[in-house]
Amino acid sequence: MSNSTGTRIEHDLIGDKEISNEFYYGVQTARAQENFQISGTTLKIYPDFIKAFAQVKKAAAMANAKLGLLDNTLKDYICKACDEVYSGKYNDHFVVDMFQGGAGTSTNMNANEVIANVALELMGKKKGDYDHCHPNNHVNLSQSTNDSYPTAIHIALYNKIEKLLGAYEVLVKSFDKKAEEFKDVIKMGRTQLQDAVPMTLGQEFKGFADSIRDDMEYLRLAQKACLEVNMGATAIGTGINSHPNYTKEIEKTLCEVTGHEYTIAKNLIKATPDQSAYLATSSALKMSATKIAKICNDLRLLSSGPRDGIHEISLPAMQPGSSIMPGKVNPVIPEVVGQVCYYIIGQDGCVVLAAEAGQLQLNVFEPVAAYTLFKSLDMLKNALKTFATLCVDGIQADKETCREYVLKSIGLVTALNPYIGYAKSTEVAKEALEKNLRVSDLVIEKGYLTKEQVEKIIEPESLIAPREKIKF
């Protein structure tokens, strides 16, 4: 109950604690705030997670009311409170550190207490007057941290992946646009950083776009894994303290509240400690980050120079590149995106270890898995949008440099192999390299082919796709 000094006294297992009336959280949240001064990253940093908790608690209240376990009037107040929490109005009252012991109990109680106190104010009651709406007895009815917490994580992950996929779409469109713009720009392909055979810059950029499309499919599979939740499991999956029909009802209400097809796992004993959705998401992120980092490195190589490197393309100049070298411009956007990718690759190990370390019927290390995935998803989303708008969209091709590399490349001898044989092709390649001659000139000089035949065979535009052997 509140007193005239602007505080209220709340009680829990440990004892009494004074709570300022300005706060909507209660005693258990306050203790967690004192105990877990770890990362400095509190729940309010991830509003998607808070929204997910509001949806879980609203769905639970609706299911409990349908089963006659919760008074309809109280259900309405709890649901209204959940809607207000969902709106973001009370984000500042989610103060527990993302790193915490207790398998997420502190986070769950932070949500329960805020929702209960918001509901009490809507009733015209005072904060802490829990006889009318109790964090555990009413907001947490038919639940345990062990089902509501992972369910909220799954919902938040699903929504964050959806936002990330939107960023992927932006990047794919950027690469597609450049692929079309560069479709006629002949250049030299390279393997092992050595000249290989001709291609177009458009083909190279189309490869980037389609590689990213593949990543999106793996992320969609991970997103689908997030749709299976363990609501109704309560403590360990047996459903203790829940109604026999609760899982059936909570599945309906969860879908109704979220607008997505969430399903309750068939085996809640299996589902409660299971980390499949986290592992699938982390694995998809790691794979994609690895590939995107490779694309960033390719762009840095292709734009190297501008005078003494490959410089087949120019990246947008975003800022001065040196405090000592005037005129220097660095590829800062691929560099920063690469760093985000390296971070994500490293964080996959954290998720794997957290998943493996859970014992028996519960994984107590879900908080670090959730924190790691939320951070990785947000960083990659921001990085991909930055990559698309501040780098890829502004890339320009140096068409003359690209074509000149093709014409003087030793790699053109590969196209002559079917006509003069491997031995003669090797001889020509070696001599052209030693004497700094063009392959085409040397083949004509040695009388292996005529000028007309060589020009027909090594016409760059005809070397970028399969073709039948030319008959002379």
The catalytic residue positions are 322
Sequential DSSP letters for 260-294: S--EE-S-HHHHTT--HHHHHHHHHHHHHHHHHHH
Rounded Cα gap, residues 177 and 143, in angstroms: 50
Tokens 């390649």, residue located: 429
Rg (CA), the chain: 31
Rounded Cα gap, residues 298 and 295, in angstroms: 5
Sequential DSSP letters for 58-112: HHHHHHHHHTTSS-HHHHHHHHHHHHHHHTTTTGGG---BSS-SSTTHHHHHHHH
Rounded Cα gap, residues 281 and 162, in angstroms: 12
Among 151, 283, 294, residue whose Cα is nearest residue 226: 151
* Max Cα–Cα distance, the chain, nearest Å: 105
Sequential DSSP letters for 11-66: EETTEEEEEETT-SS-HHHHHHHHH--SSS-BGGG-HHHHHHHHHHHHHHHHHHHH
Tokens 């990559």, residue located: 387
Token pair belonging to 145: 């941290």
> Cis peptide before 306, with omega less than 30 degrees from 0?
yes
Among 216, 368, 393, 232, residue whose Cα is nearest residue 299: 393
Rounded Cα gap, residues 305 and 312, in angstroms: 9
CA 375 from chain centre, in angstroms, equals 8
Rounded Cα gap, residues 141 and 370, in angstroms: 24
CB atoms within 10 A of CB 307: 5
CA 170 from chain centre, in angstroms, equals 14
Rounded Cα gap, residues 416 and 424, in angstroms: 9
How many angstroms separate the Cα of 432 from the Cα of each of 139, 411, 460? 80, 11, 18
